[in-house]
Structure 1
Amino acid sequence: MSYNGGGGYRRRNRDHDYDRREPVYESPEQKLRASIIRLGEVDGDQELPRLVEQICETTPINISYLSESVRIAVTEQPYKIPYYAALTRLLHDKPSSGEDTTATSLGRQVLEDFWKGFQAYLDKLSWRDTRLCVHFFAHLTTAKVVSPQSMFDLLKSFTAVLDEFGVSHGRAKQAALCAVEGLIMSGAEIKAKTSANVSEITTSIQSYIESIGDNKALVQPTVKLYPTNDPIETADEILEAALAAVQILNSSDFAQTSDIVLQPYTVSPDFADAPFDLPSVLVPPEVIELDALSTDTGEDAQVKKEEWPDYYVRLFDNDVTPDPTTPVGYAIRAGILDLIDIFEINRKECARLLLEFPKWLPHGTFKPRPGAPPQEPVAGKDWQLESTVIETILGTLFLLPDPQHKTIYYIALITELCKLSPSTVGPAVGKSIRKLYGLLADGLDVALASRLIDWFAIHMSNFGFQWVWKEWIPDLDLSLQHPKRVFMRNAIDFEIRLSYYDRILKTLPEPMQNPDNRVVPSEAPGPDYEYDDPARPHYDAAQTVLGLLRGRAKAEDVMSHLESVKNSLETTDSDTNTDSVIRSIAVQSLLHIGSRSFSHFLNAIERYLPLLRNLASGSISTTGVSNLEARMDILTAVSDFWSHSKHMIVIVFDKLMQYQIVDPTDVVSWAFTHGVERIAGSTHPSLSSLQWDVIKSALNKANGRVVIARRKVSALRKEADEKAAMAIVSNGTSMEVDTEVKPDVPEVPEVPEPESPALTTALKAFATLTREQKAALSRTLDGFVDCLASATNPNPTAKTVISENGWHNRANWSEADWVTWGTWGWYRHFCRLYSPYLRNYATTLGTVSFAKVGNAGDPAVDTFRKIWNVTTGQDV
């Protein structure tokens, strides 16, 4: 009692002390910055004059601080850019001090300092900040503050990037978006100056878009592998949409600009001063790190991230959400994308701003929300805000090969939107799920189908797993490997992982609970210890091993006991592969004692690492050269033990690679050999989503090790260079130019300093890991060759499913057809996801693996080669 009383006393004192704290003092500059950032949150038109007066009354005015405040607001609140342009316009009517009318206006001083910040963004190639500053300049051009010719020159400097030799798509895309979006907002003034200027910008962008045609096929959300030039109705590429929007505006002399963005500065008096000429700029080149790292293979060790065109999936009709290829549709989507990107660190604030987005758009753009005052609809608009926001978020989530941010961010953002407005956002989410589910049978990319499963299951877990499953009961008549059946099966598996088996079972209609339909697992997920049944072979031997492991016996004692068990089995059953049985008993028993929790698993693995290494060496009692069969037995034992919890297979494999019990190449080999019959349910080589997860984990492990090793070598070399420089300085070596002529003295050849032992070791490790990385990539490519384009064992369905007739007859596809179709999808994803590494080793990988490929003229072989050539940048 006394303790509780004392605690309460201390809490009261603490609260009392809190109340007596001094209030936080804000300087006039801090108050001014807060006012600038909060501009427009109530009524921007009424706040602007008051803010101007507040700025003018602040003495002395710190122009640099004022300009920085505007720059921060522009780059972090882009939806307010029209108001900040209006603020800058009004400040041009105010002199910098007193009544001196000849003094430079505040607006010009702010703009001059703002330009310095813009130049800093450009020098750092901070593309988003640069593009938003271009928006600001474009609005000022429409407000007559910036001269149209200087604005055109600025936009032209970005299109010049498109003509650079070997420009990366990421750099070209960002530069093109700067030019297009600046033109959308200032095109009327630029065209009024010289109409040819607009055509010059659009022509440059059009030429670049035509040059990247081959890359587009690999990142379209819906797949048709047979040759086709048909437009993709379910998605649009961002540069094509931007170009289409600006061409529509150009055809009307940009008369629609006022219907796209707010222009509060148009009510200001005519601008009397001379327009501000933006200084000329040159977009700095990309930073290319020239690292001398190399391996004994002669391959370049540096990997540059390859970027792909951005295709955004479309889910709704144009009367529900604006068409992104129109000016207003593109502007709305671009504004939402900026919000999603900027507020990635605060999803709750992002959700709130997204639902308030119509406030920053022209009147009547979206339908009024429930409870809002009625308003007169605007012809051609009146779209649904929630559907537009959800479509844009999912379009970003479903970018290929990977979204910009982590998948969980987009999922959490949709969850926050549903919490803020469940009655309006919920229906939009439901319609989106149904639309994407329908696309599964129309060629939705397998990577996107997997991403859809993750979003669906996690979203359902946040809202009580309530879904109208009965809508999909007719799809139970489809083939077991049909994408819709695969979706239902994997989504329910994921839901069970996020909850409980019995709970999820109760949410499903009776037909889906029927074991014959194979939608729900036959039992709750968990370990499957093969030797837990006394009726099973080798039960007694396994129990003795399990007892030793539970008793925390030394690894040497366990190995000795396994040797005796092996000898006993060889005596009683000579036909049994005793080595495989012993490995299975040891691995499954070890997993069994670690199956209670993840910490139990890690403790068991770490305690018996010598045992696992001994098993992986191919010997029970002595260590020797590692052999592939032993490691395959270990991986197979893991898959047997976790056959009812397949996600655990990936987790355990990852830990075995981390502790170097198996190599990434071993895991890839297992996925394409031992994993086929057990996971894909097919005797012919093929790939399922689980196998892909296993392969992806192995490749990421190999690639990650190389990255870490490269960084270590770079750090050691930098340290060595610094020590060498310090040694030169300490020896008093002069850097001055010697003007005196010295007599000829024979030069003594310099002996290079030997590399430090740490650097030598790091270089050897780097070379080893690079070879391991290359081997894993090569084995993956070999596996896909065996699945799809092998000369010795051709897959009869590989060319059927990629033909036009085969695609149109997909309603009659067998399970083998659908599995092969999925394998084609994973091959495409492997190529685009790991394209930087594949380009790095293109020559050697292609030479070795393509020696096993069939002859040209076979549709499967030709498609296989075309995907590879597009990925590695070779001639198609």
Structure 2
Amino acid sequence: MSYGGGYRGRRSGHYDSRRDDRRPPETESQKLRNLILKFGEGSEFHPSSELPVIAQALRAGFAQNAPGIVEGFRMAIIEQPYKTLYLAALLTLLSSKSTAQTEGSNSDPAQVVFDELCKSFQTTLDKLEWRQIRLYTHFFACLTLSKAVSPSSFLDLLQSFLVVLDEPGVSYERLHAAAACAGEGLMRAGPALYSFNPIAVDAIISTINSSGEPHAPQRTISRPILDPNPLVLPEADVYLTSLVGALTSLRDKSFEALPECLPQPHTLFPEPTKLLDIPPSLVPPEEIDFDRAVDEELKRKELMPAISIRMFGNDVTPDPSSPAGFMIRSGLSDVINIFEVNRKECARILLEMPRWFVWGTFRGKSSNFVRAYLTASSPQTIVYYFALVTDLCKLSPQTVGPAVGKSFRKLYAFLGNGLDVEISRRYCEWFAMHMSNFGFNWVWKEWIPDLELPLYHPKRVFIRRVIALEIRLAYYDRILKTLPEPFTTLEARCIPDEAPGPEFEYENQQHPYYEPAQSLLNLIRGRSQIEEVVQFAESMRSNLSETVTLADGATSDSVVRSITMQILLHVGSRSFSHFLNAIERYLPLLRSLGSDPQDKLDFLNAAASFWHRNGQMIGIVFDKLMQYQIVDPTDIIGWCFDNAERRKRDDDGTGSPGTLSFREWDLVKAALDKAIGRVAIAQNRVQLLRKEEEEAKAKLTAGQTRVDDDGMEVDTNGVGRAVFENLNTALKARSILTREQKAALARILDGFVSSLVLQATVGQLDTLKPGHWDLREQWTQAQWQYWETFGWYRHFCRNYLAQLKSYTVTLESGPLAKATVTGDRAAAGTLMMSVWNVALGRGHS
């Protein structure tokens, strides 16, 4: 079959001989390896004629270059999965009658390559590298389809994955990965396996179908849209559900053929002369290492059911539960995941994916590649997806651009119709970043009628958030010019009345603290010695109450802390480096002004007041204060939940006390991530020192030791004692940081309880009751605020599930105990506990 039309190869472009001169010439082994990696990338691809030529070249050079050929197959399998069917056909050709044995060699190239690939597969299996395991399984499935691998050995491989599904207490991550290997392998080898053993095939589908049942309740808090009305709920994609649906559809037709979107190159060539057998293998158990680095746990945190939004119908994007739809989505996802390291190459390959499917599958439109990967937990960094869409638009603006615009409008329509707040946040960031890459051009007038909605309606929150992000990415005046007049009025409250900047309240000569503040400012600007500045601050603290009248509730200590923090920020407001220099130089000054929780709140209040028009700078300052240990993560979390006055001054309007906005959640998340990250660093340190301790013990056993003056056995270099002392210190540090992490989690839960239970009203509670969604057009501002805070609680429970599980008993007996209330507020507590129990896999929400 031919795949023509507009292909631009990787090496296309102007030939530069000087560039080639700088590269060493390719060896014969490298040429054969690249022959495998680059086949099919010409302007025309004819597998019936090209693959036999490649197979003959590989066979001719196999005796001297076997390692390079094996490496070419291995790399293509795990880095170019869109070629897997053709790779299987190529390996099959190596053992067919049409390519006779190499003269003077008794080895069978196909057997040698296959044996080496089986060894490589076993290595990935031992390391539990699930993506590579799944892609190798795809390759073996295609070999089974082409009758190069025995159905019995491949069936044994699939059944080894099913064993994982029956493991007691298996995590969703491991279950999901094993089910994907078994199900996707069956989908590709179904015709061969079903004719060989239909009973076993039915058993595989049944086992995969039932494997997700223990985690089914967790889908309720992973769903991207919380609207129980089936008439308005967009279809959501749950991976296992889609996989079982596609398999069932194929089974109902007795696996007569592959999904219609897949080419069948194996039918173009003779059958192989011999059957290959996959060696028996078992999936190793997942090791439980309590000293494993926490950052690794974060990278591969226990997943909840993966659910994504279906924004368009089956006439635009394929049904993910159909065989063809599942294959297409799976193929695109693999390319996106593999090429995260090179998004421009990823964009190029995505636009050329039609050549690797049956001609006509995509109806010649690149827009089918555009999908929003908006799940509860994204596999890659969100910015990568945003940048990838931008590159797709630049490569094919006529087709991808309109598709992106349709996606923006579709997601906007979901706002106020149950769209999860975390997905709304990602949507804001995607929209703003995309606008910054294309001149901030958008048809804002479409959304003018929405300015009549309540201030905290998700659409108005989105508009304010996007404009704030656009200002961050450009300039205030420039963004102002892109907006229609209705968005720029004070009544609309979409844009701040001034450009984001600092506000040093003590520069006003009418301020009661102006004179002492100016004196301290002059000392700091003059880079006075730290001792002199500390001494002046102490004298100012003792004299302040005698010279000026303090505001209600203020103390001389709190005033000095506020003045000092704002002065350091004022001196450092010229640039980020100025800010860091000022803070680092006068850290002893800040530490001398107090260290109890109330003292730290004074620092945070002063910083937030100084940068109240710039939420980004508040986050930066708070992060640095945590880094320099002026404040703790728990201090910031408490500040976010408790400081109602600051909420009334933020750029989102007059938020009621207890309401958690986008800005506040960003600060809470940053503080919690800081606490978790510190535990990760401490855990890594402990792990490293334990290895050194084991080495020291091994030397002790080998007799390479001596006894020091204190009777301590150390090695001949005297490092044994140092290792022991360092390990003891690291263990203590880890213990302290772990308590800090637990305290941060508890403080967040306590804040949510206060917000959702203690400040709830009966009217707000009705917001989240089934059947009340038909009345959402009548919701008040308070109800929408309650909805947003509940959304962040829901996201907190699923996003930090791994950490919450570690402290379940403490958290349930502490902050969550307050959720057990009676009266009108009981419904809020019941709802919180329901979400909590579902996140932990205990029941339904």
Q: Which moved more, 1:753-762 or 1:773-782?
A: 753-762
1:807-854 Cα distance to aligned partner (Å, 9 max, x none): 321111111111110100111111111111111011011101123223
Equivalents in 2 of 1:520, 1:176: separation in Å? 49
Aligned equivalent of 2:345: 349
Equivalents in 2 of 1:630, 1:346: separation in Å? 47
Asked if 1:590 corresponds to 2:568, the answer is: yes
Q: CA deviation at 1:230?
A: 9.5
TM, length-normalised to structure 2: 0.90
Aligned equivalent of 1:623: none
Aligned equivalent of 1:522: 497
> Alignment partner of 2:319: what SS?
coil
Equivalents in 2 of 1:180, 1:260: separation in Å? 17
1:157-206 Cα distance to aligned partner (Å, 9 max, x none): 11121001111111111111111111111111111112212210011011
Q: CA deviation at 1:24?
A: 2.9
> Alignment partner of 2:772: what SS?
helix
Aligned equivalent of 2:284: 284
1:633-687 Cα distance to aligned partner (Å, 9 max, x none): 1100111000100111111011111111111111111111114444473343221
Aligned equivalent of 2:624: 655
Equivalents in 2 of 1:719, 1:170: separation in Å? 32
Asked if 1:385 corresponds to 2:352, the answer is: no
Asked if 1:399 corresponds to 2:400, the answer is: no
Q: CA deviation at 1:73?
A: 1.1
CA contact (8 A) 1:303 1:836 kept: no
Equivalents in 2 of 1:128, 1:38: separation in Å? 22
Asked if 1:715 corresponds to 2:688, the answer is: yes
Aligned partner of 2:806 among 840, 849, 867: 840
Distance 1:292 1:82, change over 3 A: closer
Equivalents in 2 of 1:805, 1:277: separation in Å? 57
CA contact (8 A) 1:304 1:836 kept: no
Q: Which moved more, 1:249-258 or 1:190-199?
A: 249-258
- Work out which structure has the larger RCO, using CA pairs closer than 8 Å and 6 or more positions apart in sequence: 2
Equivalents in 1 of 2:237, 2:728: separation in Å? 51
Distance 1:410 1:21, change over 3 A: closer
Distance 1:232 1:173, change over 3 A: farther
Aligned equivalent of 2:223: 220
Superposition map of 1:776-815 within 5 A: 776-790=744-758, 794-815=760-781
Q: CA deviation at 1:603?
A: 0.3
Equivalents in 2 of 1:835, 1:73: separation in Å? 36
> Alignment partner of 1:520: what SS?
coil
Q: CA deviation at 1:470?
A: 0.6
Q: Which moved more, 1:276-285 or 1:456-465?
A: 276-285
Superposition map of 1:526-675 within 5 A: 526-574=501-549, 576=551, 577=554, 578-615=556-593, 617=594, 626-674=595-643, 675=646
CA contact (8 A) 1:82 1:263 kept: yes
Equivalents in 2 of 1:724, 1:230: separation in Å? 67
Q: CA deviation at 1:216?
A: 1.1
Aligned equivalent of 1:380: none
Aligned equivalent of 1:489: 464
1:577-596 Cα distance to aligned partner (Å, 9 max, x none): 23322222111111101001
Aligned equivalent of 1:691: 664
The one-letter code sitting in structure 1 at the alignment partner of 2:495 is: V
1:112-170 Cα distance to aligned partner (Å, 9 max, x none): 22222212221111111111111111111121112222222211111121001111111
Equivalents in 2 of 1:714, 1:115: separation in Å? 33
Aligned equivalent of 2:253: 252
Equivalents in 2 of 1:500, 1:130: separation in Å? 48
1:20-55 Cα distance to aligned partner (Å, 9 max, x none): 968733222211111111111231412112112212
Q: CA deviation at 1:537?
A: 3.1
Asked if 1:141 corresponds to 2:109, the answer is: no
Q: CA deviation at 1:96?
A: 7.1
Distance 1:859 1:278, change over 3 A: same
Aligned partner of 1:700 among 652, 673, 682: 673
Aligned equivalent of 1:510: 485
The one-letter code sitting in structure 1 at the alignment partner of 2:253 is: S
Q: CA deviation at 1:533?
A: 2.3
> Alignment partner of 1:166: what SS?
coil
Q: Which moved more, 1:130-139 or 1:553-562?
A: 553-562
CA contact (8 A) 2:28 2:65 kept: no
Equivalents in 2 of 1:550, 1:854: separation in Å? 54
> Alignment partner of 1:515: what SS?
coil
CA contact (8 A) 1:839 1:873 kept: no
Equivalents in 2 of 1:258, 1:173: separation in Å? 22
Distance 1:758 1:96, change over 3 A: farther
Superposition map of 1:152-163 within 5 A: 152-163=155-166
CA contact (8 A) 1:347 1:412 kept: yes
Q: CA deviation at 1:567?
A: 4.1
Superposition map of 1:134-533 within 5 A: 134-224=137-227, 233-257=234-258, 259-271=260-272, 273-291=273-291, 305-368=301-364, 384-386=365-367, 388-391=368-371, 394-395=372-373, 398-400=374-376, 402-533=377-508
CA contact (8 A) 1:798 1:860 kept: no
Aligned partner of 1:84 among 84, 87, 92: 87
Q: CA deviation at 1:404?
A: 1.2
The one-letter code sitting in structure 2 at the alignment partner of 1:520 is: I
Equivalents in 2 of 1:59, 1:757: separation in Å? 57
Aligned-pair identity (%):
46
Equivalents in 2 of 1:335, 1:100: separation in Å? 41
How many residue pairs get matched?
A: 802
The one-letter code sitting in structure 1 at the alignment partner of 2:427 is: L
The one-letter code sitting in structure 2 at the alignment partner of 1:490 is: R
1:333-383 Cα distance to aligned partner (Å, 9 max, x none): 000001001111111111011001100000111122xxxxxxxxxxxxxxx
CA contact (8 A) 1:303 1:837 kept: no
Unpaired segments ≥5 residues, structure 1 = 1-15, 295-300, 369-383, 618-625, 734-749
1:214-267 Cα distance to aligned partner (Å, 9 max, x none): 11112111124x7x8999634211111111011111111223515121111102
Equivalents in 2 of 1:525, 1:231: separation in Å? 39
Aligned partner of 1:769 among 712, 716, 737: 737
The one-letter code sitting in structure 1 at the alignment partner of 2:575 is: S
Distance 1:502 1:27, change over 3 A: same
> Alignment partner of 1:655: what SS?
helix
Asked if 1:26 corresponds to 2:29, the answer is: no
CA contact (8 A) 2:59 2:102 kept: no
Equivalents in 1 of 2:741, 2:808: separation in Å? 13
The one-letter code sitting in structure 2 at the alignment partner of 1:107 is: A
Equivalents in 2 of 1:409, 1:293: separation in Å? 25
The one-letter code sitting in structure 2 at the alignment partner of 1:196 is: I
> Alignment partner of 2:237: what SS?
strand
Q: CA deviation at 1:64?
A: 4.2
TM, length-normalised to structure 1: 0.87
Unpaired segments ≥5 residues, structure 2 = 1-15, 707-712, 715-719
Distance 1:608 1:470, change over 3 A: same
1:458-485 Cα distance to aligned partner (Å, 9 max, x none): 1111111011111101100001111110
Aligned equivalent of 1:870: 838
Equivalents in 2 of 1:85, 1:836: separation in Å? 40
The one-letter code sitting in structure 2 at the alignment partner of 1:192 is: S
Asked if 1:859 corresponds to 2:832, the answer is: no
Equivalents in 1 of 2:638, 2:176: separation in Å? 38
Equivalents in 2 of 1:59, 1:711: separation in Å? 45
Distance 1:825 1:258, change over 3 A: closer
Equivalents in 2 of 1:417, 1:119: separation in Å? 36
Distance 1:722 1:861, change over 3 A: same
Distance 1:798 1:759, change over 3 A: farther
1:674-722 Cα distance to aligned partner (Å, 9 max, x none): 1444447334322111111111111111111111112112222221221
CA contact (8 A) 1:96 1:106 kept: no
1:753-787 Cα distance to aligned partner (Å, 9 max, x none): 98832222222212211111111111111111111
Equivalents in 2 of 1:23, 1:506: separation in Å? 51
Asked if 1:72 corresponds to 2:75, the answer is: yes
> Alignment partner of 1:236: what SS?
strand
